[in-house]
Amino acid sequence: MNEFIKELEQSEVGVIKVNEPLSKHTTWKIGGPADVFIEPDGTDGLVKAMEIIIKHKIPWRAIGKGSNLLVDDDGIEGAVIKLGQSMASMEVEGEVVTAGGGYPFIPLATLISKQGLSGLEFAGGIPGTVGGAVFMNAGAHGSDMSRILIEARVLFPDGRLEWIKNKDMDFSYRTSRLQKEKGICVEAKLQMKRGNKELIVAEMQKNKQYRRETQPWMHPCAGSVFRNPLPEHAGALIEKAGLKGFQIGGAQISEMHGNFIVNKNNAQAQDVLDIIAHVKEKVRSNYGIEMKTEVELVRRQAT
């Protein structure tokens, strides 16, 4: 590991930190240390860092703003790559928006709407980054990334950097090809449609306001914890099971929205995992429905 760190530092790929607490980099404010934390200085830095990771056979994973992530209290083995500000470029050509994987999703949606471009109104209250949104096929209010993505520039674990067309992304509900192949979305081209600026801004603000009024973003959380077992909705099932406000340790099922678990008081990852297990058991026994998590659960031995 020491040789790996030394080579990273000598190659000047970006910011390198050792034993960096991931609670600083997740919206849940939960998570133990990463052995090595890398914030690449642009795409070239990312590609070079991946070359060094491959050379030293280091386990790794990528994060954006950490909004869909539950990191184990023991942290993450190997390297954590964060797509940050240096990978947050953005340009508009006609009705096509090209955004870096590290660009924050909500500010992008706000900026684009104010330019009279429609297509990102659904993203008005979705935390995270463009790269994470592509990875998860993020969506809300009847739309998602699969409907607007033209193509994504993806770094694969073998070091290949390729543009992947929408049709080859294998999009489905909260799922993409990148989850199966562990690809990092470095950049995305999004198809917008020019329209009435006032109406577009009003629609986006309405979606953002809906989230403020119905979701508990005043406490650290990670967004929706469970996937909706359609045609049912996870939050409604959890509420019907009488679990709103249920608490273990410092973690609590939100009293505002059943599909949110909030960090009320220095919650540990195990507190959240215990709540998830309890919800699964309760919903299964009450309604015969298997609940699946939407958040990514990252344990120490994961590679």
Contact 296, 69 (CB under 8 A): yes
CA gap 171, 243 in Å, rounded: 32
User: Which residue among 121, 187, 203, 294 is the active-site one?
Assistant: 294
Percent helix, percent strand, percent coil in the chain, to nearest 5: 35, 30, 35
Residue 158 tokens, joined: 């073998």
CA gap 82, 17 in Å, rounded: 11
Farthest-apart Cα atoms in the chain, separation: 57
Instruction: Based on the residue annotation, tell me whether 113 is a catalytic residue of this protein.
Output: no
Contact 120, 112 (CB under 8 A): yes
Q: Measured between alpha carbons, how far apart are the two ends of the chain, in Å?
A: 15
CA gap 207, 225 in Å, rounded: 20
CA gap 206, 16 in Å, rounded: 40
Instruction: Based on the residue annotation, tell me whether 224 is a catalytic residue of this protein.
Output: yes
Place of tokens 């958040």: 295
User: Which residue among 177, 224, 254, 296 is the active-site one?
Assistant: 224
Residue 50 tokens, joined: 């991946």
Contact 121, 111 (CB under 8 A): no
Q: For residue 222, which of 67, 98, 75 has the smallest C-alpha distance?
A: 67
Total Cβ atoms within 10 A of residue 7:
16
User: Which residue among 174, 203, 211, 296 is the active-site one?
Assistant: 174
Catalytic residue IDs: 174, 224, 294
